[in-house]
């Protein structure tokens, strides 16, 4: 019974002195750990882990945090993804979903048969009339794929043959917060892990010196707020949460050494801290202790890797020209696109860009043009740049917002101006690269861009497709939490096979 | 058959629910009888009349409801009649027994205990047989015995086929689908909507809504119309709770009706069928070799020793299994692992990779001072599909060394020194589809004279040039 007396977890004399007082606790430690291991074993639910009795709790945890979920389920097409989130709800009617018949119906009330009792937001529900507002922007067809693009996106229109448009997106939510949360986590309510966290949990990291999941927010877009839960890990282990890179001197907060500290003894400090945490982990068996240690070590490596990757000084001029003049100004959408390419080159798995300001309740034509001016060139440049580097082959590019906008004008409709309210029932997104058909348009909407007439793609379908491209069957990437097995797509979603190349 | 009011049918559907009462009560009467004999317990035998009464009353109710249900016409008449008369007999005998027991009518048998037990056993036998017929009506006549250990399935045995061309489309593909997904309600003994899909004759006959298939017109066929509706739709088939048809099954049925004019005798014709349909047919018949378009078959390879993988990781390679337990890997040597000061190590490291040459599907060696001579071992990686070699001092000589990579579909060579001469080697790579040649010595003019069906990406300003 007392053979454990001299068995100490630490080689450090200071710690050993503390540990010697723990004979009784040792007993509880062993028993509780045994239970913990069993619980974890059942959590993993892989015969492999359960059958192997020689696995320590730590092994189990590692197996849990790394790939022991039988992943990938099939041969992946995508290795990395850059998700260009256009926050606010870009107007599909003024950008991609060309509706020429609306010109003749200009100013007429939207027929009730089209709206069919669809709930509206509080912002336009009180309107007495819903005058149809045809887009004042000019549309043209481009490329061999003859895709329609408005004048707001001149650069993107050059590369339509690389894009896969989905014109039949629809979602459940009508307001920004729930709609973005729905897109990024599969649930309108906060608390679920984001797509990037699921990918990190499922597939692990390809570069241990950088986070698997990085978020960049443009400084030249403003509007509805974004919140860190959009790149949060929810109930997944903490190391899977997204890390936000900021513009300016400190891309990652609290990463650089404080003034008057040279950082030479940091390694020693971390080693010692690691031992303390080991002891704590041995005592309590809380997986979050390991997650925290992983984070400390990651932060330490990022002290070297982040300055390296965020330094764009060695980019040639023609690259800056390609992304646009903004790309020399850190923190702009264009600079973030360039940064995204650099991160992807370093095999960061998930780069999430956010550009706010697509919420054109009023002054829609002007607003759309303004937003496009800030994003069009860099988006196109990123896709071209990835392509010429051969990276578009295994990088998925996603462009889209949380919902679309209404065909009717919110507020006063004039000959040159109109506003558009939120519209969840039909909107456009596009993808490019890994495994999606280039120069392809999927889905159709009615003459009002109000209802989907062919091949609807729900938010959950989009998420299922995204996971599919990474070799994941969305029904099998699960995490048991609070007695229930959770998925990104909850109990919904079908991978849209028709858009896969 | 449609002159029966909905309300009658509504009540009738309670028949399967109510029939369990007489079964239970009457069984209980027998149990009480046995119990009272065994323990000589008078109290028990006093309850028997009550059990019989409840059994008889519920049997009467069940019979009435059963008659209502039978008005739907969904059931095979012969079996239905047997069930009906057995039910009536059970009810009558139960009532009779009750009256004898409670001395409502005097008979000489009155105190003969033996006959009492016998008649109870007779009732139970009747209930069981009636119930069995009822079950056969609802679930089909082989429901009970289908999974019995001694049961020999009398299903139609299809002769095994050697070639896809030998399979009759209806017998081998259509019929099994209908059998699995439709026949539990549409068979010769249970004809929901007066429709049976059991054999070609019944299918041609159709149901109460007329024909179920219209040769050459899939969308006009009730079979396709109903199975492709929105699952929430009232007319959707199979109804809620049953397994719906898969996408492949629907496509196949549609193809058979639309393009093969629902011919019951026609065989598969691989030269005329679209590839997609052919792939579905092949997978349903478990035929290999008909893969979906664009889908390359993955090689089957042996497991790699853990020690080899660990050794490679220690050498700086990143290893990722592409499909769980497929033993197929992506290998990445991170950029700048090899610099001028450790250049001599590269050969040794690549030699290590040869130990798993069959297992490498994707390989990336970008920006690692890989020269022409270093490519020699890579020529052995026969299963390689993607090769990334950008930002390396590679020339046409190096490319010539790897021209035997017959499975390669994409090669990334931007920022290398290749010229158009490399295209001779590329021509030998049968499956090559994409070449990334931005910032090389390959020019737009070079591509004009090429006759390859390969996309060459030259990057900005001239993004891509596709040769014929």
Q: What is the ipTM of this complex?
A: 0.82
Q: Is the pLDDT of residue A23 over 60?
A: no
A63/A47 Cα distance (integer angstroms)? 12
Between the alpha carbon of residue A40 and those of residues A48, A480, B253, the distances in Å are: 13, 11, 47
Lowest mean pLDDT among A35-39, A69-73, A192-196, A401-405: A35-39
Q: At which residue do the structure tokens 């007319």 appear?
A: B235
Beta strand A427-433 pairing with A163-170: antiparallel
Does residue A281 sit in helix, strand or coil?
Answer: helix
Query: A301 with A195: CB under 8 angstroms?
Result: no
User: What is the distance between the alpha carbons of residues B101 and B48, in angstroms, rounded to a whole number?
Assistant: 8
For A291-334, what is each residue's pLDDT tens digit?
889 889 999 999 989 988 988 888 999 999 999 999 999 999 99
What value does the mean pLDDT take over residues A350-362?
96
CA B217 and chain centroid, separation: 26
Segment A409-427, tens digit of pLDDT: 999 999 999 999 999 999 9
Residue where the block lists tokens 């093969």: B260
CA distance B259 to chain A (A): 22
Residue with tokens 């119990």: B35
Distances from the Cα of A80 to the Cα of A96, A339, A435, angstroms: 26, 14, 12
Q: Which residue of A has its CA nearest to B318?
A: A206
With 90 as the cut, is the pLDDT of residue A437 above it? yes
Residue A38 has pLDDT above 90, yes or no: no
- What number is the average pLDDT over the span A481-500? 91
**Chain-centre distance of CA B240, in angstroms?**
18
Residues B276, B260: Cα–Cα separation, whole Å: 15
What is the mean pLDDT of the segment spanning A145-164? 95
Helix (H, G, I), strand (E, B) or coil at A157: helix
Is A208 an interface residue toward B (CB < 8 Å)?
no
- The reported pLDDT for the residue numbered B461 is 56
Q: Is A294 left (phi over 0), alpha (psi -120 to 50) or beta?
A: alpha
> Half-sphere exposure of residue A347, counting CA atoms within 13 Å on the CB side?
17
Q: In sequence order, what are the residues at sequence separation of 6 or more whose Cβ sits closer than 8 angstroms to the Cβ of residue A482?
A: A235
Please tell me the predicted confidence (pLDDT) of residue B176: 86
Confidence band (pLDDT; 50, 70, 90) for A353?
very high
CB pairs under 8 A between A and B: 66
Q: Omega before B423 cis (within 30°)?
A: no
Looking up tokens 């709800």 gives A89
Mean pLDDT of A453-473: 96
Q: How far apart are CA A161 and CA A143, in angstroms?
A: 6
Q: What is the C-alpha separation between A376 and A191, in angstroms, rounded?
A: 33
Residues 270-329 of B with CB under 8 A from A: 294, 298, 318, 320-325, 328
pLDDT attached to residue B139: 82
Q: How does strand A80-86 pair with strand A350-355?
A: parallel
Q: How many CA atoms lie within 13 A of A468 on its CB side?
A: 18
Greatest mean pLDDT range, A374-383, A492-501, B154-163: A374-383
The distance of Cα B237 from the centroid of its chain, to the nearest Å, equals 17
- The residues in B 379-438 lying below 8 A from A, measured between CB atoms, are 386, 388, 390, 410, 412, 414, 434, 436, 438
SS3 B292: coil
Q: How far is A313 from chain B (nearest CA, A)?
A: 18
Tens of pLDDT, residue by residue over A88-147, are 999 999 999 999 999 999 999 999 999 988 889 989 989 999 999 999 999 999 988 889
Q: Residue B168 has what pLDDT?
A: 85
Confidence of residue A11 (pLDDT cuts 50, 70, 90): low
Residue A215 forms beta bridges with which residues?
A244, A352
Chain B residues touching A388 at Cβ < 8 A: 414, 436, 438, 457-460, 463
Give me the residue from B322, B434, B457 closest to A75, CB to CB: B322
Residue A69 and residue A203 in contact, taking contact as beta carbons nearer than 8 Å: no
CA distances from A307 to A302, A312, A320, A501, B28 (A): 8, 10, 19, 37, 84
How are the residues of chain A apportioned to helix, strand and coil, as percentages rounded to the nearest 5?
40, 15, 45
CA distance to A9, A124, A422, A449, per residue, from A119 (Å): 62, 10, 11, 16
Q: Is A30 helix (H, G, I), strand (E, B) or coil?
A: helix
Question: How many CA atoms, within 13 angstroms, populate the side-chain half-sphere of residue A92?
Answer: 35
CA–CA separation, B247 vs B267, rounded Å? 22
Both tokens of A46, joined, read 């892989």
Can you tell me whether residue A351 is helix, strand or coil? strand
Contact B414 A76 (CB under 8 A): no
Contact A389 B414 (CB under 8 A): yes
- Residue A467's pLDDT is 97
Please judge whether B457 and A387 are an interchain contact, meaning their C-beta atoms are less than 8 angstroms apart.
yes
List, in order, residues 6 or more apart from B60 with CB less than 8 Å away: B91, B95
pLDDT value at residue B468: 30
Per-residue pLDDT in tens (0 to 9) along chain B, 468 residues: 456 788 888 998 899 999 999 999 999 999 988 888 888 777 888 888 899 999 999 999 999 999 998 888 778 788 889 999 999 999 999 998 888 888 777 766 656 555 578 888 889 999 999 999 888 888 877 778 777 776 555 555 677 777 778 888 888 888 888 888 888 888 877 788 888 888 888 888 888 888 888 888 888 888 888 888 877 788 888 887 677 787 788 888 888 888 888 888 888 887 777 877 887 887 777 765 544 444 557 888 889 998 999 999 999 999 999 998 889 999 999 999 999 898 889 999 999 999 999 999 999 999 999 999 999 999 999 999 999 999 999 999 999 999 999 999 999 999 999 998 998 899 888 889 999 999 999 988 888 877 667 889 988 754 443 333
Instruction: Give contacts of A70 with chain B, Cβ < 8 Å.
Output: 324-325
User: Per the structure block, which two tokens stand in for A467?
Assistant: 């996971």
pTM over 0.90: no
Average pLDDT over residues A345-362: 95
By Cβ distance, the residue of B321, B332, B438 closest to A388 is B438
Assigned token pair, A313: 């000084």
Cα-trace Rg, chain A:
26
> Quick one: closest CA in A to B435, which residue?
A390
The closest alpha carbon to B19, from B97, B185, B140, B130, belongs to B130
Encode burial over A470-482: b for 16+ CB neighbours within 10 A, e otherwise: bbbebeebbbeee
Percent of chain A exceeding pLDDT 90 equals 68
Cis peptide leading into residue B450 (ω within 30°): no
Under a CB-based contact definition with an 8 Å cutoff, are residues A365 and A417 in contact? yes
Structure-token pair, residue B230: 């929105």
Contact at 8 Å (CB) between A172 and A149? Answer: no
Q: Which of A457, A361, A372 is nearest to A408 (CA)?
A: A361
């Amino acid at each position: 019974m007392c053979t454990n007396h001299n068995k100490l977890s630490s080689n450090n004399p200071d710690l050993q002195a503390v540990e010697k007082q723990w004979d009784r606790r040792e007993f509880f430690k062993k028993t509780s750990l045994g239970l913990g291991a069993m619980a974890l074993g059942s959590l993993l639910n892989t015969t492999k882990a359960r059958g192997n009795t020689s696995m320590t709790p730590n092994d189990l945890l590692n197996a849990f945090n790394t790939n022991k979920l039988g992943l990938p389920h099939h041969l992946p097409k995508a290795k990395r993804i850059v998700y260009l989130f256009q926050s606010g709800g870009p107007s599909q009617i003024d950008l991609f979903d060309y509706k020429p018949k609306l010109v003749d119906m200009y100013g007429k009330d939207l027929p009730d048969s089209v709206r069919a009792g669809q709930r509206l937001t509080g912002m336009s529900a009180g309107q007495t009339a819903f005058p149809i507002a045809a887009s004042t922007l000019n549309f043209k067809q481009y490329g061999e794929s003859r895709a329609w693009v408005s004048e707001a996106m001149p650069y993107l229109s050059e590369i339509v043959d690389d894009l896969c448009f989905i014109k039949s997106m629809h979602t459940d939510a009508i307001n920004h917060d729930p709609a973005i949360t729905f897109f990024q986590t599969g649930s309108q309510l906060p608390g679920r892990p984001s797509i990037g966290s699921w990918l990190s949990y499922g597939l692990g990291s390809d570069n241990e010196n950088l986070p698997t999941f990085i978020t960049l927010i443009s400084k030249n877009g403003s509007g509805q707020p974004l919140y860190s839960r959009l790149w949060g890990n929810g109930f997944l282990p903490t190391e899977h949460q997204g890390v936000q890179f900021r513009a300016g001197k400190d891309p990652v907060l609290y990463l650089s050494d404080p003034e008057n500290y040279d950082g030479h003894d940091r390694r020693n400090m971390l080693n010692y801290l690691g031992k303390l945490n080991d002891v704590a982990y041995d005592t309590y068996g809380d997986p979050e202790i390991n997650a925290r240690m992983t984070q400390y070590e990651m932060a330490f490596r990022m002290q070297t890797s982040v300055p390296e990757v965020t330094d764009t000084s060695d980019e040639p001029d023609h690259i800056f020209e390609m992304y646009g003049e903004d790309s020399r100004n850190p923190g702009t959408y264009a600079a973030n696109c360039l940064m995204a390419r650099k991160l992807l080159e370093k095999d960061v798995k998930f780069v999430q860009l956010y550009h706010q300001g697509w919420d054109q309740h009023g002054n829609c034509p002007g607003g759309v043009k303004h937003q496009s001016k800030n994003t069009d060139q860099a988006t196109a440049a990123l896709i071209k740049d990835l392509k010429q580097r051969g990276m578009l082959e295994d990088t998925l590019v996603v462009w889209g917002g949380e919902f679309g906008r209404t065909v009717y004008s919110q507020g006063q409709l004039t000959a040159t101006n109109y506003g558009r309210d939120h519209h969840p029932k039909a909107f456009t997104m596009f993808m490019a690269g890994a495994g999606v058909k280039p120069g392809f348009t999927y889905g159709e909407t009615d003459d009002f861009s109000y209802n989907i007439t062919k091949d609807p793609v729900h938010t959950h379908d989009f998420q299922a497709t995204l996971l599919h491209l990474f070799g994941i069957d969305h029904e099998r990437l699960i995490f048991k939490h609070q007695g229930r097995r959770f998925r990104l797509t909850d109990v919904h979603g079908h991978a849209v096979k028709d858009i896969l190349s | 058959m449609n002159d029966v009011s909905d309300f009658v049918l509504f009540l009738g559907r309670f028949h399967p629910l109510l029939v369990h009462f007489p079964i239970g009560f009457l069984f209980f009467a027998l149990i009480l009888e046995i119990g009272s004999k065994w323990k000589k317990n008078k109290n028990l035998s006093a309850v028997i009349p009550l059990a019989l009464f409840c059994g008889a009353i519920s049997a009467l109710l069940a019979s009435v409801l059963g008659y209502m249900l039978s008005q739907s016409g969904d059931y095979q008449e012969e079996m239905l009649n047997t069930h009906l008369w057995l039910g009536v007999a059970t009810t009558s005998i139960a009532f009779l027994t009750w009256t004898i027991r409670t001395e409502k009518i005097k008979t000489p048998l009155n105190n003969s205990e033996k006959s009492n037990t016998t008649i109870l056993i007779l009732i139970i036998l009747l209930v069981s047989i009636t119930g069995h017929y009822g079950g056969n009506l609802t679930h089909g006549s082989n429901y009970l015995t289908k999974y019995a250990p001694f049961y020999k399935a009398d299903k139609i045995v299809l002769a095994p086929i050697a070639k896809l061309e030998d399979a009759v489309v209806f017998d081998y593909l259509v019929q099994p689908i209908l059998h699995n997904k439709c026949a539990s309600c549409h068979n010769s003994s249970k004809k929901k909507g007066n429709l049976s899909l059991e054999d070609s004759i019944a299918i041609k006959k159709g149901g109460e809504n007329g024909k179920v298939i219209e040769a050459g017109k899939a969308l006009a066929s009730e079979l396709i119309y109903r199975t492709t509706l929105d699952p929430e739709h009232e007319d959707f088939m199979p109804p809620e709770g049953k397994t719906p048809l898969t996408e492949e099954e629907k496509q196949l049925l549609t193809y058979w009706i639309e393009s093969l004019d629902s011919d019951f005798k026609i065989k598969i014709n691989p030269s005329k069928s679209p590839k997609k349909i052919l792939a579905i047919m092949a997978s349903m018949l478990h035929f290999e070799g008909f893969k979906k378009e664009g889908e390359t078959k993955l090689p089957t390879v042996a497991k790699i020793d853990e020690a080899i993988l660990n050794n490679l990781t220690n050498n700086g390679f990143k290893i990722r299994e592409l499909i769980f337990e497929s033993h197929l890997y992506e290998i990445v040597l991170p950029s700048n692992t090899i610099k001028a000061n450790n250049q001599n190590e590269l050969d040794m490291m690549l030699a290590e990779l040869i130990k798993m040459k069959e297992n490498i599907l994707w390989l990336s060696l970008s920006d690692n001072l890989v020269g022409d001579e270093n490519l020699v071992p890579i020529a052995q990686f026969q299963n390689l599909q993607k090769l990334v070699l950008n930002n390396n001092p590679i020339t046409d000589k190096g490319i010539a060394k790897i021209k035997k990579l017959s499975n390669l579909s994409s090669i990334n060579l931007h920022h290398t020194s290749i010229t158009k001469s490399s295209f001779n080697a590329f021509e030998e790579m049968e499956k090559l589809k994409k070449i990334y040649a931005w910032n090389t010595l390959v020019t737009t003019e070079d591509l004009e004279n090429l006759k390859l069906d390969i996309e060459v990406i030259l990057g900005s300003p001239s993004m891509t040039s596709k040769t014929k």
